Amino acid sequence: MVKIAILGYGTVGSGVVEVLETNGASINKRAGKNIEIKYVLDLKDFPGESVEKLIVHDVDIIMNDPEIKIVVEVMGGVEPAFTFVKKALENGKSVVTSNKELVAKHGAQLLAMAKEKKLNFLFEASVGGGIPIIRPLNQSLTADEITQITGILNGTTNYILTKMAREGLEFDAVLKEAQEKGYAERNPDADIKGFDSCRKIAILTSLAFGSQVDYEDIYTEGITNITDRDFKYAEKMNCAIKLLASSKMIDDVVYAMVAPFMISESHPLYSVNDVLNGIYINGNVIGDVMFFGAGAGKLPTASAVVTDVVDCAKHLGTNIMSLWSTNKRELGDISNSKKKFFIRVEGTVSDKLAEVKAAFGDVEVILVDGITDEFAVVTEEISEKAYEQGSKKIVGIINRIRIEK
């Protein structure tokens, strides 16, 4: 018997209880021992619910109970989660978390603490919801030098972009739907401004390349500037617009960024729609591998959390090694990285094209039926710096979106 405590009975916490209640028998068989929830910490009471008698309001009841071997932190936010997780590890309890803010900020330190104490700190649910991606990076792709990770890592924004593209729906209305479905963060700015994707690619990059990547160092743009008209051009170009988070190792330097991209039908992430996430990894031996599945939501996320609980239960007294050290990795400067840019410009081709070409070099013009007050162009591959310099020479740029090969 392994007794566990859950910190937080919100969307994910209640999902963890539901998964353990629904699949308890098979989960116990796979763990090789019975997993029992002894406490659920929450500020509220839940009269009439199955957890009613397990609810406690004082975290020290959990921390001071030697029977508790695994603490599941599903509260979200850095504090008080960080304090509670440190206390749990100090008190000899392994920790499972879905909290990407916590993992991105303090993951390396918490992994080191767990290792020293022969405990585990596992966080499969922090990236990609229900998709196994942390474990593959940590355990299945260990024969490879990872060269690239590119992913759609935020379910809320993918849901919004898919609905806007397919149904022409307004941004705010779709965001509200994503919130109702339990995909969005408490403050949805974290989703739509790209911060959530940024933390997730920081976690994957730190794990893949072995040293601490500070998410504050990653260039990050969200989807708030994407409008209905961008989708009209994207359709004309047979492209989808996706919020991509990527990191690439080039000549021993890691370059990372988060931004909306136009991707063509042949791109492996083109058909990753709705709340689904997709993560494409390249290793120098294995080549390309893709991970695909539900990136947010109560039960998929809870499924990943419970998987980690099982792993902790199977490894009581043994630390599962991970490569992520506390040494900080300096990221490469993306201003020299090259790509094509899609640029929308106010006015007409006859008035403006010469000016646009003078700023960006050769371009392909994109026109959409019914749009007459503006036009769009696609540049050749130019650097971020060249784009910035060119854009200062033109009045009337409405939007620009990078294009991924």
Q: Is 185 marked within a binding site?
A: yes
Residue 27 interacts with ligand HSE (CB under 6 A)?
Answer: no
9 vs 123 by CB, closer to ligand HSE = 123
Note whether 155 binds ligand HSE by CB under 6 A. Answer: yes
According to DSSP, the residues that pair with 3 across neighbouring strands are 36, 68
- Does 220 help bind ligand HSE (rule: CB under 6 A)? no
Q: How far apart are CA 138 and CA 39, in angstroms?
A: 30
Options 101, 124, 185, 374; binder of ligand HSE; rule CB under 6 A: 185
Identify the active-site residue in 200, 232, 298, 340: 200
Residue 296 in the binding site for ligand HSE (CB under 6 A): yes
- What letter does residue 42 receive in the DSSP assignment? -
CA distances from 310 to 2, 35, 351 (A): 10, 8, 65
Smaller CB separation from ligand HSE, 126 or 379? 126
The reply, when asked if residue 233 is annotated as ligand binding, is no
Give the span between the Cα atoms of 76 and 19, in whole angstroms: 19
Which of the stretches 131-139, 182-190, 334-342, 345-353 binds ligand HSE when contact is defined by CB under 6 A? 182-190
Residue from 9, 82, 121, 183 binding ligand HSE (CB under 6 A): 183
Structure tokens at 209: 């390349």
Tokens 């990753």 locate to: 272
SS3 218: coil
C-alpha 165/C-alpha 270 separation (Å) is 13
For strands 35-41 and 211-212, give the pairing: unpaired
Q: Which two tokens stand for residue 374?
A: 């503006």
Among the listed ranges 135-143, 154-162, 281-289, 325-333, the one in contact with ligand HSE (CB under 6 A) is 154-162
Q: Is the peptide bond before 66 cis (omega within 30 degrees of 0)?
A: no
The whole-angstrom separation of Cα 257 and Cα 220 is 6
Residue 129 within binding range of ligand HSE, rule CB under 6 A: yes
Q: Does 104 bind ligand HSE (CB under 6 A)?
A: no
- Is 392 a residue of the active site? no
Cα distances from 378 to residues 84, 225, 234, 362, 382, in angstroms, run: 50, 18, 11, 9, 11
From candidates 191, 311, 384, 404, binder to ligand HSE by CB under 6 A: 191
Query: Stretches 70-78, 149-157, 212-220, 394-402: which one binds ligand HSE (CB under 6 A)?
Result: 149-157
Least separation in angstroms between CB 47 and ligand HSE: 28
> Taking CB under 6 A as the rule, does residue 154 contact ligand HSE?
yes
Type of residue numbered 79 = E
How many residues lie near ligand HSE (CB under 6 A)?
A: 11
DSSP code for 41 = E
Please list the active-site residues. Answer: 200
Residue numbers of the site for ligand HSE (CB under 6 A)? 129, 154-156, 183-185, 191, 196, 295-296
Query: Residues annotated as binding site for NADPH?
Result: 100
